[in-house]
Structure 1
């Protein structure tokens, strides 16, 4: 739904709840996608949320709603739900979602819910909860289709119709040998176009891409994204399939990783702003702003060292903002491209020299282009000054130098931090912008001193 439609939905729910129009509300719940309903749910008052929740009787729908709510809202709202109903909801949730939500609850309440859940479902959830939070094991779904390689296509279709009706990802049929080891996979499309009597081993794909339960979840996301899979199998050390990570979870991982990197590069931590207190926001930003402050102080001392030059050629000061600004902008662009490339796996450390050379070439070309523009502007602006040409040349060369060095530093710093096992997203932004400001000012006045003979 678009924002306007969501506003209409929220207003309609509020109006109907006020009137007590139960029949119309139940009808809206049944016809509205749970993603849209959860968005409207967040906008309702606590009292209206409770009223709407009481009208929801399908535990699967409620489970979907819980998994879509913000962490704080879920924890606040779950306190109002009767215990037996809570157990029923978790029993009907996908095991990966249930594990994720149970880890947010108080340990005592979580254990009580697990003890009352159905044995098989409880075991699956506990297994997922035993894995690290950022691993494939914590994300995987243990409900999948795995059949032996001698089963024929006709029997597979019968199994899908009778045994695997509620499987979350029925688009892949995983093939195992007599020892239970994963040997191949068939898509649903392959299955329906082959002869009914053809066994799986004769048309399955054998070039498998698998992950381990302890594989980092961002690495799983990169694999799914790279190969355009709908799911990737998770295998143990004996190559036995223990679960699958589905594309819907991968999308969430990529979204979270991108948001986290952007927030880190901005120097505001890795949590959403709305979840931070004023004190926490201040404390997180303080060290990164202090780095910028030190850079500004350093630039102040550099400019102070050229006071005589400025006194003689006051026009030099007019171009300081544009030189620092252009250098800072291209440095930020280069660092953002490199950090994002490292995060998505499109850039690796072996590409070190290639990445740096390309960004340096881009910086040089852009520097020459804008150096010519600003040089012409400087010449025209100070045409009556006898030193207008040396001044224009100094400004132009300063732009070229500043932008070239900025592109070099912006691309090199994230790669160096990556090699040193320091998160590039955290350290790159403040380091690059601060260092470029200092270098830009120093290069500008050095070049000006040489050309203007001051």
Structure 2
């Protein structure tokens, strides 16, 4: 989060505590709509509804709404009367409306779709046919396209007469009488050309384009490679269907980076089910794999001690590799989610508290699952219920403790203006290892009354 947004959030919070809503209205009406959206994300539900009403005219509120994440868009819209929803949606670009409708419950999305004028309904319906991970799913249908048989002066006149405020005009795409894409030129090239020249004389016929079914990640690679501000999208008939702009590509790159970061921590990606249960399910396979490896270590220790005629209680140390491995994995998974949240600039009080509550719930259920597995394995090995209970207790306490540390440490470093991606992993390796060993040795020593020195 940049300093500009932090100042805005801090100022509005102070005014909100004083009930100075007139002053808040003046601030949010002057602030950039993207900053206002960040402000709304930092507020609780009631404060968000109050502040959204102060944003200004419908056109400005539509823009703020388009910047909000999907869950908050739904929350805001559900509290508004039908007529106001129709007004707000009418002021949004068709690609934003398509994204919004695709994420809302069926009843609300159908209501919004029916409220649009017929032309917009058709455009949104066309966009909804495509996957959100494809070029067709992220393109903007408002594109500056001119006939290739126009002169330069006619082309300039046509652009001046265009009424759309949302027109994407980084480049001018030229089409023939069949709407096939045949050329491209920049606005600079158009303005510097002689008025009587034909567009076919100044255009570039070699147009780098993508199809509506091209994966979004491939589109991002093309824009990055050629330093484009936008790239045209064609359908199966080579007709110009829309355009993808660099801001859409930035969103793709950011989501891909988020997914890579979460993949390193072996947690659910943005494209997967990122609900509470989705996150829980995504973490269990890797934890189960480490548990199986730990059990193999235990069996080796148990077998060697039986051959050496040593006390078999020492075999309980064979569970330590499993606990250490699970501690490291829990720390990395928790840190991956926290770092992802920080990268998105979501260090708001509301977001952090909700995040920690969710992570505590996930770690508790993970700890309970691992406790049952460890407790069951130790009971089968020793036939001692109390030892099983001790190991199960260690698993639960360790998982919850290290999960909270893994989440809080990156947030603390970010708050202290220290790059959390640099110090988090090394610090967590030490902390998780020390925590795991301390809990294990302490519990075993208390039960057996054995000093390890």
Structure 1 and Structure 2 fold alike (TM over 0.5): yes
Bigger RCO (CA 8 Å, 6+ sep):
1
Distance 2:21 2:152 in 1: 48
Task: Assess, with a 3 A threshold, how the Cα gap between structure 1 residues 61 and 275 changes in structure 2: closer, same or farther.
Answer: farther
- After superposition, the C-alpha distances for 1:244-301 in whole angstroms (9 at most, x for unaligned) are 1111111111111121122123211114999642x54333211112223334455667
- After superposition, the C-alpha distances for 1:293-345 in whole angstroms (9 at most, x for unaligned) are 334455667899999xxxxxxxxxxxxx9xxx9xx9xxx9xxxxxxxxxxxxx
TM-score normalised according to structure 1 size: 0.62
Distance 2:297 2:141 in 1: 58
For 2:240, the equivalent position in structure 1 comes to: 241
State the shift of 1:46 in Å: 2.3
Task: Assess, with a 3 A threshold, how the Cα gap between structure 1 residues 270 and 138 changes in structure 2: closer, same or farther.
Answer: same
Distance 1:164 1:234 in 2: 22
For 1:281, the equivalent position in structure 2 comes to: 279
For 1:99, the equivalent position in structure 2 comes to: 98
For 1:120, the equivalent position in structure 2 comes to: 119
Distance 2:164 2:77 in 1: 30
State the shift of 1:68 in Å: 2.0
Distance 2:278 2:219 in 1: 32
Report SS of the residue matched to 1:35.
helix
For 1:153, the equivalent position in structure 2 comes to: 152
For 1:217, the equivalent position in structure 2 comes to: 216
Distance 1:80 1:180 in 2: 43
Task: Assess, with a 3 A threshold, how the Cα gap between structure 1 residues 215 and 259 changes in structure 2: closer, same or farther.
Answer: same
For 2:7, the equivalent position in structure 1 comes to: 8
Distance 2:303 2:59 in 1: 70
Distance 1:90 1:248 in 2: 20
State the shift of 1:217 in Å: 1.4
Report SS of the residue matched to 2:241.
strand
State the shift of 1:21 in Å: 4.2
Question: Does structure 1 conserve the Cα–Cα contact (< 8 Å) formed by 2:268 and 2:278?
Answer: no
Mapping for residues 284-295 of structure 1, pairs under 5 Å: 284-295=282-293
The answer to whether structure 1 residue 81 and structure 2 residue 80 are counterparts is yes
Moved more, 92-101 or 253-262: 253-262
- After superposition, the C-alpha distances for 1:401-424 in whole angstroms (9 at most, x for unaligned) are xxxxxxxxxxxxxxxxxxxxxxxx
For 1:204, the equivalent position in structure 2 comes to: 203
Report SS of the residue matched to 2:252.
helix
State the shift of 1:110 in Å: 1.5
Question: Does structure 2 conserve the Cα–Cα contact (< 8 Å) formed by 1:88 and 1:117?
Answer: no
Question: Does structure 2 conserve the Cα–Cα contact (< 8 Å) formed by 1:9 and 1:40?
Answer: yes
Matched pairs, number: 317
Mapping for residues 323-362 of structure 1, pairs under 5 Å: none
- After superposition, the C-alpha distances for 1:58-99 in whole angstroms (9 at most, x for unaligned) are 333222222222222222222101111111111110111110
For 1:40, the equivalent position in structure 2 comes to: 39
Unpaired runs of 5+ residues, structure 1, are 308-320, 333-454
TM-score normalised according to structure 2 size: 0.63
For 1:343, the equivalent position in structure 2 comes to: none
Report SS of the residue matched to 1:166.
coil
Distance 1:142 1:212 in 2: 14
- After superposition, the C-alpha distances for 1:354-393 in whole angstroms (9 at most, x for unaligned) are xxxxxxxxxxxxxxxxxxxxxxxxxxxxxxxxxxxxxxxx
Report SS of the residue matched to 1:56.
coil
For 1:180, the equivalent position in structure 2 comes to: 179
Unpaired runs of 5+ residues, structure 2, are 306-320, 333-453
Query: Alignment RMSD, CA only?
Result: 3.4
For 2:188, the equivalent position in structure 1 comes to: 189
Distance 2:110 2:272 in 1: 32
Mapping for residues 299-448 of structure 1, pairs under 5 Å: none
State the shift of 1:143 in Å: 0.7
State the shift of 1:2 in Å: 2.1
Report SS of the residue matched to 1:103.
helix
The answer to whether structure 1 residue 163 and structure 2 residue 162 are counterparts is yes
Question: Does structure 1 conserve the Cα–Cα contact (< 8 Å) formed by 2:135 and 2:215?
Answer: yes
Question: Does structure 2 conserve the Cα–Cα contact (< 8 Å) formed by 1:17 and 1:52?
Answer: no
Distance 1:165 1:70 in 2: 26
State the shift of 1:17 in Å: 4.0
State the shift of 1:197 in Å: 1.6
For 1:311, the equivalent position in structure 2 comes to: none
Task: Assess, with a 3 A threshold, how the Cα gap between structure 1 residues 231 and 263 changes in structure 2: closer, same or farther.
Answer: same
Distance 1:21 1:191 in 2: 51
- After superposition, the C-alpha distances for 1:199-229 in whole angstroms (9 at most, x for unaligned) are 1111111111111112211111111111111
